[in-house]
Structure 1
Amino acid sequence: MSAGDEKLPPFYSPKAAAAGDDARQHVDDFSIDAPATRADQLSQEGQLPPPSLLSPAFTPPATPGTQTPSALGPRGVPVDSSTPSGGCGSKKPKLVESLPTVECEVRARIPTVNNGEFFLHVYKNSVDSKEHLAIVFGDAIRSKSLDAPRPDETEWDRMMRGAYTGKLYPGRTTSSEDPPKEGQPTSKASRDTPLVRIHSECYTGETAWSARCDCGEQLDEAARLMSLPGNSAGGVIVYLRQEGRGIGLGEKLKAYNLQDLGSDTVEANLLLRHPADARSYGLATAILQDLGLDEIRLLTNNPEKIRAVEGPNREVVVKERVPMVPLSWKGRGGIRSQEIEGYMKAKIEKMGHMLSQGGI
């Protein structure tokens, strides 16, 4: 058996499709297999899922497709937070009075294991000392604070902190890209609305192979969607360092112990005298503003997040909610455990998450 044929451990994410796959393959990636087909596939793999703790009401047999053959980007549901029936949840989130100040300190190109690439931006801010991140796909989205000239800096300084256009290469001496040669077409920024994911740090789900949540799976899927060849508008994953829905890793592990004792994810936080969700999104709004994004398509299953991300004065307007469909519903792998079944059930019943496109 060759190295490429070895079966990966089950906690690894499914292998991403190659960038050259046709549109039909991408549509198939979003389809939800019928229950019998999914069971047959899992049986052949020798990995039957545990009995579902979710009732049929929470696990629809088919989720509407989020992609069409003529458009490679995911399809969303129009929303409007300015109206009560705008598909943005029933709660009124607590918003910051004014947005924090953010500044992009540095960015760098990151080539990925799937032959793609993105630009990783590191931000400092006026609220805390954490390094919050923006993962930017595409060339059209740039940071205002990064590009702004700084006192006494040289061209070398600008290139070293990532304030350059085009690509870096050995021997380059200026941060500005060389003007196009005669007859060479110039690139134009897309007018399409970019796809955005606001993602909160989850060490257990993203690094420690935890099957208690789907955070790692959602991060992978967000990156895959933003890397699709047809996504001309690019995309941004704003990665906020607010572990455990804002309570920190230590308290999160205590909550895990309470869950093993019978509490769900919401009850465990409350027993620890924390809110069910202690996250804040003012930093995300400020980062999106710095990236020049005043209108976005938000990749989320949580309609309550829409208004929270828009900011106190709707500084960023969410035009569409794009649902995040779990891989396990597609019959293509994903996390399978009793813990994640209970986790998703609590998110739906107690936190208002909608795990299908047809919910709004």
Structure 2
Amino acid sequence: MPIPQPAEASSSSKQWEQETTNLPSFYSPKSKPKQPALKPNSDVAPLEQPLPEPSSPPAFSAEGSLVDPPPPSLLSPEFTPPSTPGNATPSLEPRSIPVDSTVPSGGCGSKKPKLLPSLPAVECIVRARIPTVNGTEMFLHLYTNNVDNKEHLAIVFGTNIRSKSLDDPRPGETQMDRMIRGAYSGRLFPGRTTSGMGETSSRDPPQQEKGAIPLVRIHSECYTGETAWSARCDCGEQLDEAARLMSLPTNTSGGIIIYLRQEGRGIGLGEKLKAYNLQDLGSDTVEANLLLRHPADARSYGLATAMLLDLGQEEVRLLTNNPDKIRAVEGPNREVVIKERVPMVPLSWRGRGGFKSQEVEGYLKTKIEKMGHMLDMGAIS
């Protein structure tokens, strides 16, 4: 026998449906209101209530006296960025769309970006294993290059993806030198004396499928969105979603996040903050850059292409909503071939967390209407 619902719950549910019907497609729906519990004297069974959160055990100092608990965080749980990478909602798998940049109808946009005649020279100088707060492990690669003085990064998921420039032997180095800079196989452990390159080890983690095409995200640095909890953009959520997809147990082909240090679409943090002030004065993100005499998008992807080649990847699946980025990442002579485009759909777009703000709504609207980014409704539904 169904449990009758109180009138207040029915009214709240109808109001929630009306409020979420006409939200923009990139808005995450509001949380459905909780239904109030029935009074104890009611003839109907009470609604199921969530269990209270367990309280933290009391803390004691070295002398045995009770220590006051720390004050609550200044950041509310709704505002704190999600853990990265995560295995939440592992059933949400990426959906791939075949692309071909050699034909006009290949799904790669209409723009022809200006590319350098040759790719930059890059070198991976150190690699280290990063255990994450959610149990996933990844390898962080730090790169230098011959075009700028910045240290760009490659975050690698999987054990078969390795850097050629890192693994190449260097004159006069010892086995300990190789292990310290990350040119080793398997895992490091106390007492290990050799890098083990070319050897097999019982300590090696399970290998992913060889020959599979990895998932790749080209991500440009965004201090405000990734570190300062800015609600002006969705950069932090996109970085989280890329890591979530690459850390799924079903992703046996590995993954790479190329993290380029080109803040503010290439104009730098200082100019980006000026653009924020122009946005508060009424400009959108494109107009603000142009008013500051910068291109709407000053980013370059030659370094990303060179880093992918150093990691041994000539064919990849690119996680992006910007089809025009495909030709830029492929390089001047298609040194890297993008076989598929995987739509970037953060979990908040599916109504599974994240945040909403007036600023991010305008930001996404501008990306879609003025910069040609695609919103894949099939991946959201």
TM-score by length of 1: 0.81
- Written as runs of structure 1 = structure 2, the 5 A alignment for 1:1-360 is 1-2=53-54, 8-14=76-82, 25-27=89-91, 30=92, 67=93, 74-176=94-196, 179=200, 187=207, 189-356=209-376
Q: Structure 1: 5+ residue runs without aligned partners? A: 31-66, 68-73
Contact 1:266 1:346 in 2 (8 A): yes
Percent of pairs with identical residues: 73
Task: Report the AA paired with residue 190 of structure 2.
Answer: P
Query: Per the alignment, do residues 188 and 325 of structure 1 end up closer, same or farther by CA in structure 2, a change over 3 Å counting?
Result: closer
Task: Report the AA paired with residue 26 of structure 1.
Answer: P
* CA deviation map 1:32-84 (0-9, x unaligned): xxxxxxxxxxxxxxxxxxxxxxxxxxxxxxxxxxx3xxxxxx22100000101
SS of 1:216's partner is: helix
SS of 1:26's partner is: coil
Task: Report the AA paired with residue 229 of structure 2.
Answer: W
Structure 1 residue 325: deviation in Å?
1.0
Match of 1:58 in 2: none
Query: Per the alignment, do residues 329 and 175 of structure 1 end up closer, same or farther by CA in structure 2, a change over 3 Å counting?
Result: same
Distance in 1, matches of 2:332 and 2:55, equals 53
Query: Per the alignment, do residues 15 and 206 of structure 1 end up closer, same or farther by CA in structure 2, a change over 3 Å counting?
Result: closer
Report how many aligned residue pairs link the two structures. 308
Structure 1 residue 186: deviation in Å?
8.7
Distance in 2, matches of 1:18 and 1:288, equals 24
Distance in 1, matches of 2:231 and 2:205, equals 48
SS of 2:140's partner is: strand
Contact 2:161 2:312 in 1 (8 A): yes
Query: Per the alignment, do residues 191 and 273 of structure 1 end up closer, same or farther by CA in structure 2, a change over 3 Å counting?
Result: same
> Alignment RMSD, CA only?
2.2
SS of 1:211's partner is: coil
Distance in 2, matches of 1:18 and 1:124, equals 29
Distance in 2, matches of 1:237 and 1:185, equals 21
Structure 1 residue 14: deviation in Å?
3.9
* CA deviation map 1:188-207 (0-9, x unaligned): 75221100000000000000
Contact 1:77 1:357 in 2 (8 A): no
Q: Which has the higher contact order (CA 8 A, sep 6+)?
A: 1
Distance in 2, matches of 1:345 and 1:263, equals 13
Contact 1:180 1:186 in 2 (8 A): no
Contact 1:100 1:282 in 2 (8 A): yes
Distance in 2, matches of 1:117 and 1:127, equals 31
